[in-house]
Amino acid sequence: MTTDSQSPATPAVGAEANPRRRRASGFTDRRPAGRRPSHQLRAWLGLTPFALYVLLFLAIPTVLAVLSGLFDAEGNLTVSNVAALFEPEILKTFASSFWVSAVTAVTGAVIGALVCFALLGTNPRGPLRSTVDSASSVLAQFGGVMLAFAFITTIGIQGFVTLFLKNTLGINIFENGVWLYQVPGLLLPYLYFQVPLMVITFMPAMEGLKPQWAEANATLGGTRLSYWVRIAGPVLAPSILGSVVAAFANAFSSYATAAALISQGAQIVPLQIRSALISETVLGRSNLAGALALGMIVVMVFLMWGYSALQSRTTRWQR
């Protein structure tokens, strides 16, 4: 009875599990051949625009800049341009860039963190949060000649704020020199886009703080101070440091705003590169610009490596 009631298709189950029996019984894999390679091909084609962008605007200019620093004006291989990076004047330029970048990054981080802390208690979808987010996204990208012009017309020598303070209150903000057109004058314009950048990068970490942590701290008898010092502070520390590193890199590589404000001299590295390309003085060697660019690339690589490491630690608490 059992033998007679078996269906002819019954051996197919064992045949499907065993490759030899499957081939012997005539079963074949009906999945279309080449499906996976075609899917991978479409995925790679989707990255083509981004790959072309990286190649044309990042990879090739970087390689050309680095290689140009390894040759002299006659095209001969030399290390004199790289050795020039250790000249006192160029080291002073790098020190000025580090100083401006560090001050604006740390100050922007403190102000931006306070803004994020104030927004933490507001409605995430409310008008205040939406307005601040939108304004931060716009102001973080507002720079260059337009930003320099805005500060010149506001607190320049003939700016309306400068004239108002001088004529009405008797305060001359340039009594000790026109600092706006020197390295200290870059601090205010840079902070103008550093603070919004900090708000954008740090707010997601603030929102990642879980209410259960504060409740557990209160249940165990902890205070608000102990919560921020022992729980929220260590959790937010990688994100804060990562934001500071990103802000430092942003200021270190900025050129247009400084070029519009400081028309003479080469007081930071991007302006030193400009001077090497267009100046006719002793430092006006075009190939020196490649060596300076190589120095900036080395600094940026270390900064991006540190930022990536800090972000990887931050994401562990946001899962």
pLDDT digits (tens, 9 = 90+) for 146-157: 899 999 999 988
Position 16 scores a pLDDT of 45
Tell me the pTM. 0.76
- Rounded Cα gap, residues 27 and 147, in angstroms: 71
Let me know: does 308 contact 242? Beta carbons within 8 Å: no
- Rounded Cα gap, residues 165 and 173, in angstroms: 8
Distance of alpha carbon 238 from the chain centroid? 15
Neighbour-count burial of 121, counting CB atoms closer than 10 A to its CB (0-12 exposed, 13-18 middle, 19+ buried): exposed
Please state, in angstroms and as integers, the Cα–Cα distance from residue 176 to each residue in 64, 152, 286, following that order: 43, 18, 36
Query: Per residue in 22-34, pLDDT tens?
Result: 555 444 555 555 4
- Rounded Cα gap, residues 252 and 269, in angstroms: 8
Amino acid at site 53: Y
Backbone angles phi, psi at 211, to 5 degrees: -60, -25
Let me know: does 6 contact 16? Beta carbons within 8 Å: no
Identify the CATH number of the domain defined by range 82-317.
Answer: 1.10.3720.10
Q: Is the pLDDT of residue 9 over 50?
A: no
Query: Per residue in 79-136, pLDDT tens?
Result: 788 888 888 888 999 999 999 999 999 999 999 999 998 888 888 888 888 899 899 9
Amino acid at site 145: V
